[in-house]
Structure formats: structure tokens, C-alpha cells
């Protein structure tokens, strides 16, 4: 009996080590800072933009300088549109709102100092659905604010991925 118990424990340990080895070999790794192909960028956001502040923080974390002047930057991100919208998704039998769709639309383009377009005008549209209950007005307002905050974080990540995929003249001359 003790021999079978020892054998079962050894088999359990072997299976756990095998599972750990397979998980480490799957290629998963934490996402690090974005690898941007330029050393400095100017962001065309207004001074009180929470989206601009969050994007600036992530860009600085990747080692790129965010300048206050477009003339000092290698790349210029120009904001074309940044809007939020709330649309009715469904109504109940009394004609009262049951669900809303929240949208965040963001359009931008990126140019270099010479005015050459590095990223053509691009649009990102994010959508989240939210249920509504008039009896829980404050809770639903807080949930809506949380969903908009989540969309903003998602938007920043998408912008960073697009900036990372940009090829600039600086990169092309280094590779040759």
C-alpha cells in the first residue's frame, strides 16, 4: 500500500512538472513597453485630455520623448476627431430604455517633420453595451464612466500598436 501511495505521489509530481514545462514553452510572455520607431513625438491633444495624458504616459514608458512643440519632434500625431456617443439599444414594453450602446470614436494621422504621412488617417471605433435601470441611476452612471475609462485604455493600446508598426525614414536609412 505505501508503495502505491509513493508511486501516485511521484506520478502527480511528474504531471505537474510536465504541465509547468508545457506552459512555459507555449511562448507566452508579458507585454513590455511599446517599441516605437522614433525618438520623439508631438501629441496634438488639448492640455486637459485624459486620453492624451494616458497616451503620453505609455509613450514615455517606452523611452520616447514627448515634446511640447511640433517643430522639435520626429513624429507628429494629429488628432482628427475624438468623440463619445450614447445610443439607445433597446426599450422595454413601456417604452423605457433597457440598454444603451456606448461608442468612442477616435481618428488620427501621423506625419514626420517634413510633412510626409507615416500613418494615413485612421479611425478606431470602440463599442460597449450597458443595461439601464432607472432605480439604480447612480450605479449605472458609475458603470458608464467605468466603461468609458476601459474604452480609453483599450484605445491607447490600439494607438500604441499602430505607432509601433510604423516605418519611418529613420528606420529605413539605418537598415540599409
**What is the residue-level pLDDT of the chain in tens, covering all 176 positions?**
566 777 888 888 888 888 777 776 666 555 666 678 889 999 999 888 999 999 999 999 989 999 999 899 999 999 999 999 999 999 999 999 999 999 999 999 999 989 899 999 999 999 999 999 989 999 999 999 999 999 999 999 999 999 998 875 444 444 44
- Grid cell listed for 172: 529605413
Question: Quick check: is 38 in a domain?
Answer: yes
Question: Quick check: is 12 in a domain?
Answer: no
Question: Quick check: is 17 in a domain?
Answer: no
CB half-sphere exposure, 138, CA atoms < 13 A:
0
For 161, the domain range is 34-175
Residue 71 near residue 81 (C-beta atoms within 8 A): no
Question: Quick check: is 25 in a domain?
Answer: no
Cα distances (angstroms) measured from residue 109 to each of 14, 50, 112: 54, 19, 10
Question: Quick check: is 64 in a domain?
Answer: yes
Question: Quick check: is 7 in a domain?
Answer: no
What pTM did the predictor assign? 0.74
CA distance 59 to 31: 14
When divided into structural domains, the chain yields a total of: 1
CATH of the domain at 141: 3.30.160.150
Question: Quick check: is 11 in a domain?
Answer: no
- Grid cell listed for 110: 501621423
Amino acid at each position: 500500500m505505501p508503495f502505491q501511495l509513493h508511486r501516485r505521489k511521484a506520478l502527480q509530481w511528474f504531471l505537474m512538472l510536465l504541465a509547468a514545462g508545457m506552459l512555459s514553452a507555449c511562448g507566452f510572455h508579458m507585454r513590455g513597453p511599446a517599441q516605437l520607431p522614433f525618438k520623439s513625438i508631438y501629441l496634438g491633444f488639448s492640455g486637459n485630455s485624459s486620453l492624451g495624458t494616458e497616451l503620453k504616459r505609455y509613450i514615455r514608458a517606452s523611452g520616447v520623448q514627448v515634446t511640447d512643440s511640433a517643430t522639435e519632434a520626429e513624429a507628429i500625431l494629429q488628432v482628427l476627431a475624438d468623440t463619445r456617443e450614447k445610443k439607445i439599444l433597446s426599450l422595454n414594453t413601456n417604452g423605457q430604455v433597457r440598454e444603451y450602446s456606448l461608442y468612442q470614436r477616435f481618428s488620427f494621422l501621423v506625419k514626420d517633420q517634413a510633412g510626409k504621412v507615416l500613418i494615413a488617417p485612421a479611425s478606431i471605433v470602440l463599442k460597449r453595451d450597458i443595461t439601464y435601470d432607472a432605480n439604480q441611476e447612480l450605479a449605472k452612471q458609475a458603470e458608464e464612466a467605468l466603461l468609458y475609462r476601459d474604452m480609453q485604455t483599450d484605445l491607447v493600446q490600439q494607438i500604441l500598436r499602430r505607432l509601433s508598426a510604423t516605418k519611418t525614414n529613420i528606420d529605413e536609412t539605418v537598415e540599409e
